[in-house]
A and B are shown apart, each in its own frame.
Chain A
């Protein structure tokens, strides 16, 4: 995930200057803060929030403690990090559950923020957690919005409720009674996108709120939003007293300053993030992790969590054993590919590794190549997979024909395999082993 990447790079650059110089003068801190301010503004942090942030950090940084410390650069990073965390809220906020079911979640936001998509993702996530959600189509304005949610519900494997384009307040009310009757413990209401300044449409939301008394009112915000994020969040919060925020499209390369601003102006937590086009591409928002991403430290925690979900620990232990004995085979290689695909986008994963942000170009990571590689490995015999050294010229020709690929592609796979083998061998002795060897 390129999340906050550029801001992180920028801060890294500033702090590398600080670290090299040893002890700092007030003037130098002022200089650094000026650059942080520009970086925050370029990251779309609201300019007033940025101003506040700079003021707080400066006050803390220009103290004696920093000036007399031996590694001032590290101390400044620590202070900036702490300030970022405190700005975004200090812990991950979970979804509230109503004491008497159903739990009702009302989704709202501007046009195109990603509400309908997020409804399906939430439904899918809750279903995985053992709930029985009902998706309710209350966007009666946008052409085919109801149809879109219906397909989303089907993809998520959850129940769906619609009443055509009648009054949304009525649809929502009827949906709640329907949910009670059918035993749905969670109701997710999709509403039409609207401008926060549209009196009529904002009133409609207030009426839905009064009618169904939602447990959660989640404002959906596009993470690419600029300075406007503050106006949107403030206005929706004033009218509806929202309970939280959902950030969408975080798999883009936006620096995502909106995340910083919204929490600062509303005081409401960011609960979830949309991180891809697949229905499972939703994750909780962790302010502390986000802060370390901002500082370019990578998101080690998310990486490890993802890896643990996807990887079969026993298989990994076996792989480690074989690596130690230098017995890495194509079957292991295939297994790796499969585990990587389970974890999601490779470029996203790499970006989360500390030190990798900014060091590689996401464009260099070609996922379609993995498909090609997999098809080639599938065309090998069991014996070939287990004993890669027996793959000679005529076998290569046969494998190429069998997989419908060229001999060059087969050669390229074998070369990559050898390189990976070497890399894993080295990694097992070094720093990477801690990250990949054990955790994966």
Chain B
């Protein structure tokens, strides 16, 4: 079983409704206004957003004209290409070790769970992992990460609730360096991107990492809930403004949500999409691949 089959399995639900709608859109043979209207609704209902949907359709229409496309079948392939081209820009580079991955995002997107899976993933690859519980705000957040760290059998650095997260990160980096860790993963408290004070706190944490471990391959990864709508853009925008994001991970794509906002994010920010979460186990955190992502939507 390869990457694709797992992606398809996990995204079966996402895929089903999306491709069912697409099939409906593609059953006619005429490339008329009705066809494009139908297509527009399909794209909109997948959270691609009004702006990106419009752009995709404009590009598609140009392609259709340029290549003298006549049938809905050819048009489907052209649409696939348009979407893949947008996402090709955001395929990530490989990580370089040692690396630090700081995980940020709004509340409840699955940061801690993602870190648990990452720890297992890199541990399995034979890398030495240290996780840092810098969410000192939410009740029992450190306990939750502790359970994951135990499962993955990796070292965890934590402090008490209410402690200064920047100082926990400082300890975490020192501990990671002294153990020659390959991967240091930092869990931060969920914060709404429009809260000025909390974003300032994040900047402070960021400065500590930059100062204490400048030689590491430093990734600032935002985790976005796959059921999010157009607010994803605002989240990326404001987190990016605060700490210059380097990676995006999208979770919870094993439901029926389509995660279409990924396309508008790719167009607007060109920040690489590192992983997509399609299930409960560590194996369900997949490397993002543009073609596979689009294929899994259409197959």
Enumerate chain A interface residues (CB-CB to B < 8 A). 2, 38, 41-44, 46-47, 110-114, 117, 142-145, 147-148, 150-152, 155, 195-197, 222, 224-229, 231-232, 248-249, 251-255, 257-258, 277, 347, 362-363, 365-368
Contacts and interface: CB of A to CB of B under 8 A. Distances in A.
Contact of B229 (A225, A231, A347, A368): A225
Interface in B245-264: 252, 254-258, 261
Interface stretch (B64-72, B122-130, B140-148): B140-148
Interface stretch (B73-81, B102-110, B165-173, B179-187): B102-110
Contacts of B95: none
Contacts of A227: 44-47, 229, 257-258
Given A47-B41, A197-B13, A252 B229 contact: no
A197 B255 contact: yes
B119 to A, nearest CB: 13
Given A197-B255, A227-B46, A227-B47, A252 B140 contact: no
Contacts of B50: 38, 41-42
Contacts, number: 146
Interface string B209-248: 0000000000000000101111100100000000000000
B106 A152 contact: no
Contacts of A367: 196-197
A85 to B, nearest CB: 22
Contacts of A252: 106, 192-194, 231
The contact size tier of chain B is: 35 or more
A148 B108 CA distance: 13
B49 interface: yes
Given A42-B50, A148-B138, A197-B13, 20 more contacts: A41-B44, A42-B230, A44-B47, A47-B41, A111-B110, A113-B108, A114-B107, A117-B107, A143-B146, A144-B146, A147-B143, A148-B141, A151-B161, A195-B252, A225-B227, A226-B227, A227-B44, A228-B227, A228-B229, A252-B231
A33 B261 CA distance: 24
19 contacts: A38-B50, A41-B50, A42-B49, A44-B230, A144-B141, A148-B138, A148-B140, A151-B161, A155-B139, A196-B255, A231-B257, A249-B106, A251-B192, A251-B195, A253-B194, A254-B229, A257-B229, A258-B229, A362-B196
A-B pairs, top 9 by smallest CB distance, nearest first, are A226-B229, A112-B108, A44-B229, A143-B147, A151-B139, A144-B143, A144-B144, A148-B140, A147-B140
For B49, B106, B139, B227, the residue with the greatest tally of chain A CB atoms inside 10 Å of its CB is B227
Given A197-B256, A255-B231, A47 B108 contact: no
Contacts of A258: 229
Nearest to B12: A197
Contact of B234 (A142, A148, A226, A253): A253
A150 B144 CA distance: 14
Nearest to B54: A38
Given A114-B108, A144-B140, A249 B192 contact: yes
A112 B196 contact: no
A144 B138 CA distance: 11
B282 to A, nearest CB: 14
Contacts of B51: 42
A227 B225 CA distance: 13
Contact of B107 (A42, A44, A249, A362): A249
A152 B193 CA distance: 23
Given A151-B140, A197-B13, A226 B256 contact: no
A195 B139 contact: no
